[in-house]
Every structure is written in C-alpha cells, then in structure tokens.
Amino acid sequence: MTITDRERTMSSSLTTRAGVALSTGTQHTTGYFRGRTIAELGERLRADEIRAVDLVKAALTAIDALDGTLNAFVTVDRAGALRAAETADAELADGRDRGPLHGIPVAVKDIIDVAGLRTTMGSAHFADNVPAQDAECVTRLREAGAIVIGKTTTQEFAFGPTGDRAHNGASRNPHDPGRMTGGSSGGSGAAVAAGIVPLALGTDTGGSVRIPASLCGVAGFKPAYGAVPTGGVFPLSQTLDHVGVLAGSADDCRTGYRVLAGLRPMPRRERGAEVSVGWIPPDLLHPTDPRVALLARTALRADGLDVRDIRPGGLDGMLRAFGAIQFSEAHAVHAERVAEAPQLFTDDVLAILRQAGETAGWQYVRALTERERWRAEVGALLDQVDLLAMPTTCVAAPEVDQREIEVGGAPLPVRGPLIGLTRPWNLAGTPALSVPAGTVDGLPAGLQLIGSPGQEDRLFAVAERIGAALQRWRGATGADTKDG
C-alpha cells in the first residue's frame, strides 16, 4: 500500500468511527473526542496512526452532526483549521514537534480574539467584529501546535452564569438539550462534553469556566489571577477576569494550562499523597441541594483523603466585595453602550448592567480593602490544609430559560445557585478546578478543589486520584455515583 493510500484509508476509518460515536454515544450523543485524552491522541499522532487532518475532520463531522442541537459554536473555521492541520502534519513528518498540543483541535470562547474570525462577545453590539490579531492566549496555543476549530457561544459579554442569553441563542447541554450548559463559557462546555473537541478555552470572572464544567460533566480549570495573559480578551471585570480551560479530564486541563501559562511541558510528578483537604460546608455560602453536596463529599471519600470540615470567616464582606467590584468594573466597560444603544442588549444583561450602574464609588473603594481581607483569610485556610473543597454549583443543570429554581424548599433566582460557590475564588485569585463527581437525576454535578498559587500540580494530582478512585468504584459496583 502506498503512503497516499494508507493515509486515505486511515482518514476514512477515523471519520467512520467518529460517525459511529455520534450516533451511538453511551450517555448522550457524542463526537470522536469523548473519552479520548490529549496524551492518547498525541501518542497516536506521533506513531503515525492518525493525522492532525483526521482529527480536524472528526471535529468538523461532529459539529455538522451536533451543533444544530447544541449551538456550541458561533463561527467555524473549516478552511483555516484544515490548513493548520496540514502544516502540523508536515512539521511532525519533518521532525518538528511543538509539544503535547501539536495537531490537537481546540475551540475558543467567542469573547477571545482570533485573527480573521468574528468575535461577537455574544452580543449584537459586536455582531460583525473581526479582530486583526490573536489574543495572547490564542497565540500561545498556536505556537504550541494547537489548531483552532472555531469560536464557541458565550453569554452576552460573559455576564451571567446560565449560558442561555446570547445574540446567537442558548448553548445547550449535551446530557439534555432542554437544560442549561451554565455560563458564561457554555459553548466551550458543550463542545468538550459532546466530544466535538478535546480542549476549549473559556473565561472565568465569577465561575464561568467551572459552572459549565460542572453542569456538562467535564473538567474546568480557573488558574491563579494573572497566570494566563488576558490581552485580546474582552473584559467583564478586569481585576476578576481569568482565562481558563475546559477538557475531558483534570490532566488534560493541566496540559492546556501549562501551555497558556508559558510553562514547559513536564510529566506530572506530584502524586497527591499525604494531602489534607478542608471541606467548606456549601450552605455557609449559598443554599445547596443536599444531594449535590453529598455527591461532592462522597467523591472526596472515594480515595480515602484526609478530609476535615473548615469554616472561613468574613463571608458577608466577601460577598459584598465581589458584587461591588464586578458591578463597578462591568459598568465602566459598558456605560456608553447602555446609555446610547440599550436595545442591542439582551434583556437580562441590560437589566444587570443597569443595576451595576447604581454601585457607588465608596462601595468600590471599600470592596478593594475587603478583598485583601478575604485573600488573607483564604491564605490562612490554606496554611491549615493543602486544598479546600466544596461542590462547584449548588444544583444540577436547570432548564433553558428557567429563571427561578427551588433549593431546600425555597424558590430562588437561578443565578445564585449557579455562581454562589465559585465567585469567592475569583475574589481570592486562587486556582480552582471543577471535576465530575457523579450525577443527580441523571445530570452531572461537579466537585470543586481550590489550592494555593504555585501548587497547581497538587490540585491536578488530587483531582486525578479522585477520578481514578471513582472509576474503580464504578467498575467494582457496575454503577455510577448517583444522587449522593
């Protein structure tokens, strides 16, 4: 068989397998990348078993089959992705290996600039905006050999945790398209959960990477503040904004994070042994579905970790500070648009921006001081234990367009149960990771782990330990971790 024939056969086989996965996903309809790790894909690329072109075609096949339902993508760069894949294949053939993301398809949230592709911010205000250059985080992905497939749906201006308020419509949860993905990085969460891509970029100002990760059943990582550059990312709240990653596993999040942070690829050395974990009872921060809380706590027990309850102080001040900072900084970005073209906003985002405009200057100044108190409090907690833990969200995925949800017998606005457990760690600027803990009523819910800046490998290692322990438990019992 000639090389050309072999490559043609290999490409056809991969596309066929992707199509089978699309039609027979075990939990829900999935693309080729569901359950496949970046490391596995890289090994096959370097063994000449598949090509980058094959992986891009598999992603495009999945988009064609799934995105009419999921609305995960705003713009797809078919021609550009295929050209980049051909270049990646040629470089590997010539012995130039850019690292673990070489030849790997990725998706980018539509609030992050990608040169030559529409970047709409999920808003009619920027419906035809085409940036001339890449955001710095996208540049780092490309330099590492990753291939940008397209732009993913974002809540308008990334301002909201639901994922169902965007100019191009709601992103939808692959586990149940009638349910929210969470936001604001909802399209990225859906794209990874559905196996369309193995890795996607998101942004996280109050939980916008971790919330979709939790509701869609994937891993999502918010780095420490400032660890990943935000140049070329449209701001929501500049002192709270983080660029993060969503992937099928904590280890794949680690791979993406190291590229984005400009760190050299390194094998994982931290094993997560002898780790102490402080469990923060979630009801201290926000009313939480007890099944979700029990699910997350049970996931921690799966590997016999040393877990103790821990209770942070200063929670009321933390909540006031987060609200004042986010509202003040967001309104500063959008004040002219709110005044001059309010009709171009979605109703939800316009309402919250108008509310944000009522924040007084003295409240912002006091909030900056309160933030330093909260950071000191979190630092003191992390001197007592290695990691903090709690659920990622207070509930599993609400229905699309649902604006009130019952928690503990009381009706609550839906925003609070989604963002209530994630926003403290944006204010603290600490790294935080959401990983799947199991399901409640058949819908995913996440466990959130929080660590100290500089200790990210420990965070990832413990998450991998928990994931492996849950897999062993499921294998032994033939069951999922369900309903607590």
Q: Which residues participate in catalysis according to the annotation?
A: 109, 184, 208
Name the β-bridge partners of 411.
406
Query: Which of 449, 400, 41 lies closest to 213, judged by CA?
Result: 449
How would you list the strands of the sheet with 387-391, edge to edge? 73-76, 147-152, 105-109, 199-204, 242-247, 219-222, 432-440, 443-450, 387-391, 276-279, 306-309
Query: Which of 210, 209, 222 lies closest to 261, judged by CA?
Result: 222
Q: Which residues, including other chains, have CB under 8 Å from residue 266's CB and lie 6 or more apart?
A: 258
User: Is the separation of the CB atoms in 424 and 285 below 8 Å?
Assistant: yes
Three-state SS at 259: helix
Residue 468 sits at φ, ψ, to 5 deg, of -65, -40
User: Is the separation of the CB atoms in 215 and 393 below 8 Å?
Assistant: yes
Tokens of 286: 């926000």
User: Is the separation of the CB atoms in 379 and 425 below 8 Å?
Assistant: no
